[in-house]
Amino acid sequence: MKALDLDVLAMVVAIADTGSFVRGAALVHRSQSALSMQIRSLEDALGKPLFVRGPRSVTPTQEGLQLLGYARQMLALRDEAWASIVHPEVKGRVSIGVPDDYASSLLPAVLQKFSATYPKVEIQVVGMPSNALAPLIRDSKVDLACATRVKGISGEFIRFEPMVWAGPSKGREIWKERPLPVAMFGTGSVARANAIRALERAKIAYRTSYESPGLMGLFSMVEAGLAIAPLARCSVPGHFVQLGRAQGLPALPELEIVLARSARSNRPPCDFLAEQILAELRQEAR
């Protein structure tokens, strides 16, 4: 029972959420070697493996999934107990806008932690491309926006996020085809503009085989082996391959992620969520 230390359970959750020992270690602010040692000790104590360690990703075993459910409950109860004493007075509602690619990769752990710390604060997430969030911030229709810096969004710098070409891990090497089939976000997307500019500079013929405002559509095309997609590296699933110059594709510029605030966000719930997003995502980048 002593092996079920809450800090170690937090490591189990971090690995499961990120699909990687490296990213999991960054999430809990530990070195990869320290995290690996703790997980190995826990597996030895339980007498069962918790993760299947693959070449590109890590997935929980059946026993790992079982423990993961309990770990989430135990950590949530710990955070709720802490919040009930330390932050009993913070309540209200916060709306945050975020593009699909950041919503699925950067914010889940931050929002889960915030919700546990401030259980009386209601969070509304508005999923939209960065350029569509600019007028919502301007008109105070959302309180915060965690987005790529675009015209109309000039918030506080969080970090630079690399862009990569994402391709299927199985099937033919579609990135060798010409014209190159590319699945991209819609017009106005910074990632789209970066990709088109890079391809044109490299004089690589391409065709837009799929266009979508959402991330799942792009994933589907890549999964089916019908296209490659220019994506923020943080949003690329572990079972895709990350492509670049080694595969004859041009390098892509980094995305600048910022946190923008509306004029009506000057209140404690917004302040606390903004502080946590800045602290967590900057630390993760380091």
Question: Residue 91: its pLDDT value, please?
Answer: 87
What confidence score (pLDDT) does residue 88 get? 64
Nearest of 270, 253, 234, 285 to residue 106 by alpha carbon:
234
Per-residue pLDDT of the chain (286 residues; tens, 9 = 90+): 566 899 999 999 999 988 889 988 988 889 999 999 999 999 999 999 999 998 878 999 999 999 999 998 898 888 778 777 776 678 899 999 999 889 888 998 899 888 888 888 999 999 999 999 999 999 999 999 999 999 888 899 999 999 999 999 988 899 999 999 999 999 889 999 999 999 999 999 999 999 988 899 999 999 999 999 999 999 999 899 999 999 999 999 999 999 999 999 999 999 999 999 998 898 766 5
Identical fold, 92-160+256-285 and 163-253? yes
Q: Do 184 and 195 touch, CB atoms closer than 8 A?
A: yes
Query: DSSP string of 141-161?
Result: SSSEEEEE--TT---EEEEEE
Give residue for tokens 């959420």: 17
- In the chain, the amino acid numbered 151 is K
Q: Would you kindly state where each structural domain of the chain is located, as residue ranges?
A: 6-86, 92-160+256-285, 163-253
CATH dotted code for 92-160+256-285: 3.40.190.10
CATH class of this structure's domain 6-86: mainly alpha
Count the Cβ atoms, other than its own, within 10 Å of residue 23: 18
Buried b (16+ CB within 10 A) or exposed e, 143-165: bbbbbbbbebbebeebbebebbb
Query: Which residue's entry shows tokens 């110059």?
Result: 245
Rounded Cα–Cα distance for residues 102 and 129 (Å): 10
**What's the pLDDT score for residue 96?**
98
Strands 92-98 and 58-60: unpaired
Which residues, 6+ apart, have CB-to-CB distance to 218 below 8 Å? Answer: 183, 184, 185, 210, 212, 227, 229, 231
List phi, psi (to 5°) of 90: -80, 120
pLDDT at position 2 is 63
The CATH fold of domain 163-253: D-Maltodextrin-Binding Protein; domain 2 (3.40.190)
pTM over 0.85: no
